[in-house]
Structures are given as structure tokens and as C-alpha cells.
């Protein structure tokens, strides 16, 4: 599979998400060509204040979306940090417009353990070391390792999660 794919799509929905845990826009795109599948593509633009790497990416994607749909920002885009409703109002006229998305395939390994205390799902797993005593789950990067005793695990599963990440938005 190539490193990036160019997919003609239509912006079908934009939803503002603003509460104590998050601030941003959830975007939904419908691919235009059957060879790209019928499943919607999703992107989340983080607009949480203060400015961080995630919110800078969100502002950049928002700027690309405005440029691709030929909408004016009418001022600095930084004003939308912490104001998902204002950003939603700015891109509402873009719903239904056709765009070209550059997407990259992404994947990660997930380990799920069902225990008496609940279901524990760990993403970005590097490897799972199993022995008679239990499961040691090492994770990618600086994510902490986790250990599950075999006595407390009722069931376990290792799976692969795959998705397409929107990395650029361009006009059609």
C-alpha cells in the first residue's frame, strides 16, 4: 500500500465537541469513488487552549479546510482555540463541498483483557510476554508497561486496529 492515498471526498458533517475533556471539531467525509470503499472517513481537529502540538495541527487542518472550500477566515485562526462552536460556525458552509483528502494508513496492536474488575484495552502494544504467572504487556514509546496476573484474567485477545488518518485537505 502506498505511503499516502489521495481520495476525492465530500465533507458530510462537522460536529463541535466542547466540554471539560475536549474542545474541537469532529469531521466526517464520504469518499466519492467506489474503489476507496463506502466507509466514512473521520478526522478530529483539536482546538484546545492553550496552544499545543495537537491544537496547532487542528488549526492547520482547519486552515486547509477553509482554503480548500474557498471560505474566508475573517481574522486570525488562533481565536478558535477553546471555541469549537465558533470554528463550527466558520466551516458550516463547507458541508457538502467536494475536496481531495491525502490520507495515510495507520495501525496499532491492541491487547484486551477481561478481568473481574472490568475490561482493560491497551493500544499501541509492542509485545505481550505470556508465561504461567500472567501477561506482561509492553507498549510503544513512553507508554507504561502493564502486568495482568493469569488468575485475574478471564479472557484475553490481541488484535490489530487499522484506520486512515487525514494528513492534508486540498481543493478538488
Please tell me whether residues 84 and 112 are part of one structural domain: no
Please tell me whether residues 18 and 83 are part of one structural domain: yes
Closest CA to 103 of 33, 54, 166: 166
Please tell me whether residues 10 and 63 are part of one structural domain: yes
pTM for the complete prediction? 0.77
Per-residue pLDDT of the chain (172 residues; tens, 9 = 90+): 568 889 999 999 999 988 887 899 999 999 988 777 778 899 999 999 888 999 999 999 999 999 999 988 888 889 999 999 999 999 999 999 999 999 999 999 999 999 999 999 999 999 999 999 999 999 998 888 999 999 999 999 999 998 888 998 988 8
Give the domain extent around 148.
Answer: 105-163
CA-based end-to-end distance of the chain: 23
Q: What is the rounded distance in angstroms from the CA atom of residue 151 to the CA atom of residue 113?
A: 12
Count how many domains the chain has: 2
Give the rounded distance of the alpha carbon of 45 from its chain centre. Answer: 8
Would you state the cell numbers that stand for residue 56, as one nine-digit string? 496547532
Please tell me whether residues 16 and 91 are part of one structural domain: yes
Please tell me whether residues 92 and 19 are part of one structural domain: yes
Closest CA to 149 of 126, 109, 115: 115
* pLDDT at residue 34, rounded to an integer: 74
Please tell me whether residues 15 and 89 are part of one structural domain: yes
* pLDDT at residue 2, rounded to an integer: 61
Instruction: Using the structure block, give the residue that is written with the C-alpha cell 506482561.
Output: 136
Please tell me whether residues 58 and 76 are part of one structural domain: yes
Please tell me whether residues 72 and 150 are part of one structural domain: no
User: Is the Cα dihedral 33, 38, 39, 40 positive or negative?
Assistant: positive
Please tell me whether residues 99 and 153 are part of one structural domain: no
Instruction: Using the structure block, give the residue that is written with the C-alpha cell 502486568.
Output: 147
Amino acid at each position: 500500500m502506498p505511503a499516502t492515498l489521495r481520495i476525492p471526498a465530500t465533507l458530510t458533517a462537522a460536529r463541535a465537541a466542547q466540554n471539560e475533556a475536549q474542545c474541537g471539531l469532529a469531521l466526517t467525509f464520504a469518499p466519492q469513488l467506489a474503489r476507496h470503499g463506502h466507509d466514512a472517513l473521520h478526522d478530529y481537529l483539536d482546538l484546545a487552549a492553550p496552544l499545543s502540538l495537537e491544537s496547532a495541527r487542528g488549526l492547520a487542518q482547519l486552515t486547509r479546510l477553509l482554503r480548500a472550500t474557498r471560505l474566508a477566515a475573517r481574522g486570525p485562526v488562533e481565536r478558535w482555540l477553546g471555541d469549537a462552536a465558533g470554528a463550527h460556525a466558520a466551516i458550516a458552509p463547507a458541508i457538502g463541498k467536494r475536496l481531495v483528502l491525502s490520507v495515510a494508513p495507520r495501525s496499532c496492536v491492541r491487547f484486551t483483557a477481561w478481568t473481574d474488575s472490568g475490561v482493560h484495552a491497551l493500544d499501541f502494544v509492542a509485545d505481550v510476554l505470556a508465561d504461567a504467572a500472567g501477561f506482561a504487556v509492553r507498549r510503544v514509546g513512553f507508554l507504561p508497561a502493564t502486568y495482568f496476573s493469569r488468575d485475574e484474567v478471564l479472557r484475553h485477545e490481541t488484535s490489530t486496529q487499522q484506520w486512515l488518518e487525514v494528513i492534508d485537505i486540498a481543493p478538488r
